[in-house]
Structure 1
């Protein structure tokens, strides 16, 4: 047989096999995307009781409400406070924005900008926010990320309210609790609407200076990605914080992107004074450390400027917008810094009964990931049985990242105490979070105090992962909701 005939014969074999592999791959891709895009018709997230969706109904049949009278989520409202009332209005609308980079983007905005206006209140204030929808066709909501609001005010379409459609409005009311750095975003089709720009910063200032970290100046750094552009407070260029040599600046960093961001502080020493709005106990001074902030997380840094020169806070990419503090010679860019770890940072509390608290219930959440589906314990979204609790209980939750990639896990309406990582107990300051950044192979144990009765979403705050299935519920026994998630109602919180 001639070489030419041998080559043709190989082609007769190889080409059909290659086509077969491509066809099988395409069929599998279509199958998984159909699963991914198959939205439930109607789900009652208070117990995964389903209507018009037999498959989902079978998945949710495990739930049994306790005996006795049930309580509706929308009956749980803000309590009394002696603080003043602060009122705000946010109007959601489409707008063409011209960035300071010269790029033009079609954005969804609050009050004509993205991010929307920073809402700044004091501890104990009654916060009243009226949301209006001008022209976002699928509806919008406001979720208060990290704030312990009553169940009815959590802003999750189909769980705590219906999405606010064009021409409609909804008024949120809650009492600002623990001081700290928080943020807000729409939780209707969250992976789409946050990416389009429906988000903003929320700062709760302490009502008294005593017991808080003193600083000479303060600034907020709100990072988001809008149409592939990384923006800092809406700018592609960054900003400058006026400060003098020797002064200390509190910098409130919010990562509203879907990916982990890493920061260096060049030219100055600094402390991590708060994480997710909660102060750390006796934080130490750091130099050259690299701080990783997961999607949805907030880190407050206290930066001590040198007597001569300035400091620069930036990410590894030279194209990302940076924060300059003070003036003077440019500091050298840090190379190969040591990653910041909260495992042994700061000091323990002199008395800490929660460290030895005994849980009432134990749960295990295994975060999985494939090319097309993201899972918790091998299931996706409404197929995942909810965690259940009674008011006053303590829940020990083991969270493991088995699928690879970064999964910043967020729990609505609650904070949690991080007890250990990979079997090693925390040795420094107590760490209280609402969003936990996990890397592949990480296993964390966290303690959740069931102190806010309601129906609460739990999900990866890479919102694309949440939309692909990594989203579930924490439900208090006896709690119900009149709202429904699904195509029938149009409420799709994690699309």
Structure 2
């Protein structure tokens, strides 16, 4: 049957309308993500207009984020130099990648220090035109040292340098990455690992062999510690391995452990209290998260740790025969894992402020409470307050919610209060349909980003601010300054 010319015109018109809507939404999103100039302390545009979305009206006077610097450290000063540069990398699978590197490698050099050390890192930009920064993911550094382009500093341009200083106050597994055009620059290779060792190691873990495993996606290649091949770690029966897993990719990685029971001894660098032994359980590590596993090597059998999303990048521990590999298994839940802390310091008083954040999707835009990027009202706090936040994943995939400069205490999952070990995170993995209650203590004055650490989602609008009242910044986000932290 032939379609009439009138019907063809109607169909053609509808298609043009849909294409027009799609293009309009796309450019609207780009306008949100690449504004001319935004003051993230006040969400004030270059025109001087303030978004009317229920935000507090801040005074233009106050204390600059630049004034908050590292305090005196009980330990020695440790100095590091990182040079960002365009590099052609030859991978061990024969592929060649045009990468952006720190000191010629991706990941960049591991920074390993001791609790209490004063850490001084000088970042130099050789030839990356877009500019670079260093964000210390999970480390509660002072505001001026957080490394967010347009909020705490200008992006470091070619030929320039910036020196970061902070105290390694909390032992644990952390990582660093550029927070200028983060969704692009992390994938191009500008990331690395940080380990803060305890000054006085706890007895159960002090004798364990350290294995650091940073997973990343370099363009289209999935790598483990910069390699496209499996990681083999020799060891003897009875030896304990502390495996530090870092997910530097944008997608959730589900890890299985075959060949021996294991314990989850830390999440996001924070120890769990009296963690139990697990077998046949999958460990979901969200983008930006870190899990520390403790594994005792068995007799005459290897232990294999692997993720289905990183084919070929298994971690083989010990020697002997390979174990029988399992497929799937129950997902690890921290709701009832471990035991409560006897001297748990959690306050019983009501929080000073409460917020509800609904993470979702609208066409091409990732949203929080229906808004995107600088149009999202910030979480406003005063120093010393306890802040209660309800986080709800209403759609658009996994959302690992990361907050800068603070640590979240998880109170409940899907309405069920935690009954095991206290859980402190800087990045909370939320599956679609899940809800969490978390609390934080406003103990680090400044201006702080909070965003989905699927950096592609952040680039699509799922990024907002936690702002202390009275704190200002001389820096601006936008195309005028060239500071685009979450593009």
The TM tier, using the shorter chain, reads over 0.9
Match of 1:363 among 351, 355, 359: 355
**1:168 and 2:160 matched:** yes
Q: What CA distance in whole angstroms lies between the structure 2 residues aligned with 1:60 and 1:70?
A: 22
Deviation at 1:317, TM superposition (A): 4.9
What's the counterpart of residue 420 of structure 1? 412
Alignment of 1:81-96 (within 5 A): 81-96=73-88
Superposed CA deviations along residues 139-188 of structure 1, whole A, max 9, x for unmatched, are 00000000010000000001000000000000000000110000000000
Are the aligned partners of 2:253 and 2:309 in contact in 1 as well (CA < 8 Å)?
A: no
Alignment of 1:373-452 (within 5 A): 373-452=365-444
Superposed CA deviations along residues 383-427 of structure 1, whole A, max 9, x for unmatched, are 011111111110000000012310000000000100001110001
Are the aligned partners of 1:245 and 1:310 in contact in 2 as well (CA < 8 Å)?
A: no
Q: What CA distance in whole angstroms lies between the structure 1 residues aligned with 2:4 and 2:91?
A: 53
Are the aligned partners of 1:41 and 1:53 in contact in 2 as well (CA < 8 Å)?
A: no
Q: What CA distance in whole angstroms lies between the structure 1 residues aligned with 2:328 and 2:433?
A: 23
Deviation at 1:37, TM superposition (A): 1.1
**1:36 and 2:36 matched:** no
Match of 1:22 among 12, 15, 34: 15
What's the counterpart of residue 325 of structure 1? 317
Runs of 4+ in 1 over 4 A off after TM superposition: 11-18
**1:270 and 2:265 matched:** no
Q: What CA distance in whole angstroms lies between the structure 2 residues aligned with 1:211 and 1:89?
A: 33
Superposed CA deviations along residues 190-243 of structure 1, whole A, max 9, x for unmatched, are 111111110000000011123663343110000000111110000010211121
Q: What CA distance in whole angstroms lies between the structure 2 residues aligned with 1:305 and 1:288?
A: 16
**1:458 and 2:450 matched:** yes
What's the counterpart of residue 134 of structure 2? 142
Alignment of 1:272-351 (within 5 A): 272-317=264-309, 319-351=311-343
RMSD: 1.6
**1:210 and 2:202 matched:** yes
Are the aligned partners of 1:347 and 1:428 in contact in 2 as well (CA < 8 Å)?
A: yes
Task: Kindly tell me the number of residue pairs found equivalent between the two proteins.
Answer: 485
What's the counterpart of residue 222 of structure 1? 214
Are the aligned partners of 2:118 and 2:167 in contact in 1 as well (CA < 8 Å)?
A: yes
Q: What CA distance in whole angstroms lies between the structure 1 residues aligned with 2:259 and 2:462?
A: 40
Are the aligned partners of 1:48 and 1:63 in contact in 2 as well (CA < 8 Å)?
A: no
Q: What CA distance in whole angstroms lies between the structure 2 residues aligned with 1:52 and 1:211?
A: 59
Deviation at 1:17, TM superposition (A): 4.8
SS state of the match for residue 33, structure 1? Answer: helix
Q: TM-score, normalised by structure 2?
A: 0.96
SS state of the match for residue 375, structure 1? Answer: strand
Q: What CA distance in whole angstroms lies between the structure 1 residues aligned with 2:133 and 2:111?
A: 16
Are the aligned partners of 1:215 and 1:250 in contact in 2 as well (CA < 8 Å)?
A: no
Specify whether residues 14 and 101 from structure 1 end up closer, same or farther in structure 2 by C-alpha distance, changes over 3 A only. Answer: farther
Specify whether residues 189 and 317 from structure 1 end up closer, same or farther in structure 2 by C-alpha distance, changes over 3 A only. Answer: closer
Specify whether residues 317 and 395 from structure 1 end up closer, same or farther in structure 2 by C-alpha distance, changes over 3 A only. Answer: closer
Match of 1:233 among 225, 250, 270: 225
Q: What CA distance in whole angstroms lies between the structure 1 residues aligned with 2:213 and 2:131?
A: 28
SS state of the match for residue 445, structure 1? Answer: strand
Q: What CA distance in whole angstroms lies between the structure 1 residues aligned with 2:71 and 2:12?
A: 65
SS state of the match for residue 213, structure 1? Answer: helix
**1:48 and 2:43 matched:** yes
Q: What CA distance in whole angstroms lies between the structure 2 residues aligned with 1:318 and 1:11?
A: 52
Superposed CA deviations along residues 339-364 of structure 1, whole A, max 9, x for unmatched, are 10001000011132416342110000
Superposed CA deviations along residues 260-289 of structure 1, whole A, max 9, x for unmatched, are 001000111100000000000000000110
Are the aligned partners of 2:64 and 2:472 in contact in 1 as well (CA < 8 Å)?
A: yes
SS state of the match for residue 404, structure 1? Answer: coil
The more displaced of 356-365 and 443-452 is 356-365
